[in-house]
Amino acid sequence: MLSIFKREFKSYFTGVIGALFIAFLLCFTGIYVTSINLRGGYASFEYVLSNIIIVFLLIVPLLTMRSFAEEKHTKTDQLLYSLPMSVGEVVMGKYLAMLAVFAIPVLIMALYPFLLSAFGYMAYKSAYLALFAFFILGAALIALGMFMSSLTESQVIAAVISFGALLLMYMMKGVASLIPSDNLTSLICFGVLALIVGAVTYALTKNTAASVGIFCLLAAALIVLYLIKPEIFGGLFPALLTYLAVFDRFIELTGGIFDVTAIVYLVTFAAFFIYLTVQSVEKRRWS
């Protein structure tokens, strides 16, 4: 794992991607610090961070797009399969290398509260809590991007689908508020979700009976539930979407409250996508 980590970390800096990633994040932070803290006279670094999370939509795909797509494209993944190490170690080595690259600008950003304290009072605790949360949010999104990269052979496609997924998550709360919260709408939305689950099953296994079976089972369960107790569907789908709004979890943490559930949520999110990446890479061996 250490050897993979070292190679990956180094390769980010033999090319331009690592430097570009760091420069982009620092440049964005600098602009916002200037405008909010220095020009606006607003003594809150948390506020800057909550404003710049949109930059993740661009820099996360930049960082993650090549992780697995490039290996598949150049067929170097065969080397990784033939090495005496598990797929889990390979995935973790790559993931930690990306985290290490991400940690560099975050550490530089940690200087801001110090510098700003020259101009007045800084609430260090809430500023550093927000920066920590910013790092955890980034770690979760990088895991998502890595998974997207493991699905394709093309870096461009990996970048585009990562961007799309991140954009959807960024707008999730807005999307949720558009959906009516009555019982029937929720039922229909869950029905569509069941259909998607069935389609994904088919795409992965090419097994018609299993995917149709899964869809029918889910649909039947939903209808039965709806007939017995329709009121539980009230606002359930928008609630689910809100629950999946990763970016908003971070906003909760910038208020100066150390919300452990939000941290656990983000870490679980990252672990889930790391697991999916391992499965997706492992699957290639069975295809």
Partner 1 sequence: MIEVKNLVKKYGDHTAVNNISFTVEKGKIYGLLGPNGAGKSTTMNIVTGCLAASEGSVTVDGHDIFEDPKAAKKCIGYLPENPPLYGDMTPLEYLTFVAEAKKVKSGYLGSQVREVMEITGLTDMKDRLIRNLSKGYRQRVGIAQAMLGEPDVIILDEPTVGLDPKQILEIRELIRKLGETKTVILSSHILAEISAVCERVMIISHGNLVANDTIEHLEEIANRSNKLRITVRGDSEAVKARLETIEGVLSVDIDEVAEDHASFDIDLIKDRDLRDDIFFAMANMKCAILSMQFEQTTLEDIFLALTDENVRPDEDGNLPSVEEVLEARGKKDDTLFSHMSDEELEALANEKEDDQTEEDEAEPDVDVTEENTEKSEDEGYKPLFGGN
Sole window of 22-30, 81-89, 244-252, 258-266 interacting with partner 1 (rule: CB under 8 A): 81-89
Two tokens, residue 245: 């709004």
State which of residues 77, 149, 201, 270 lies at the interface with partner 1 (CB under 8 A).
77
Q: Which is nearer to partner 1, 17 or 193 (CB)?
A: 17
State which of residues 34, 76, 207, 208 lies at the interface with partner 1 (CB under 8 A).
76
Q: Judged by CB under 8 A, does residue 203 bind partner 1?
A: no
Half-sphere exposure of 128 (CA within 13 A, CB side): 8
Q: Judged by CB under 8 A, does residue 78 bind partner 1?
A: yes
Q: Judged by CB under 8 A, does residue 209 bind partner 1?
A: no
Q: Which is nearer to partner 1, 26 or 85 (CB)?
A: 85
Sole window of 23-31, 71-79, 99-107, 172-180 interacting with partner 1 (rule: CB under 8 A): 71-79
Q: Judged by CB under 8 A, does residue 81 bind partner 1?
A: yes
Interface pattern 2-31 for partner 1 (x via CB under 8 A) = xxx-xx--xx--xx----------------
C-alpha to C-alpha distance for 241 and 140, rounded to whole angstroms: 17
- Measured on CA atoms in the order 253, 179, 191, 207, is the torsion positive or negative? negative
Note whether 5 and 97 are within 8 A (CB).
yes
Half-sphere exposure of 54 (CA within 13 A, CB side): 6
Nearest to residue 76, comparing CAs of 49, 100, 94, 95? 94
249-278: b (≥16 Cβ within 10 Å) or e: bbbebbeeeeeeebbebbeebbeebbebbb
Size of residue set near partner 1 by CB under 8 A: 26
Q: Judged by CB under 8 A, does residue 125 bind partner 1?
A: no
In whole angstroms, the minimum distance from the beta carbon of 145 to partner 1 comes to 21
Query: What is the CA 287 to chain-centroid distance, rounded?
Result: 27
Q: Name the 3-class secondary structure at 40.
A: coil
Q: Which is nearer to partner 1, 39 or 206 (CB)?
A: 206
Q: What angle do CA 114, 59, 249 make, to 5 degrees?
A: 70
In whole angstroms, the minimum distance from the beta carbon of 4 to partner 1 comes to 7
Q: Judged by CB under 8 A, does residue 86 bind partner 1?
A: yes
Q: Judged by CB under 8 A, does residue 74 bind partner 1?
A: yes
Amino acid (1-letter code) at residue 66: R
Residues that bind partner 1 (CB under 8 A): 2-4, 6-7, 10-11, 14-15, 74-86, 206, 285-287
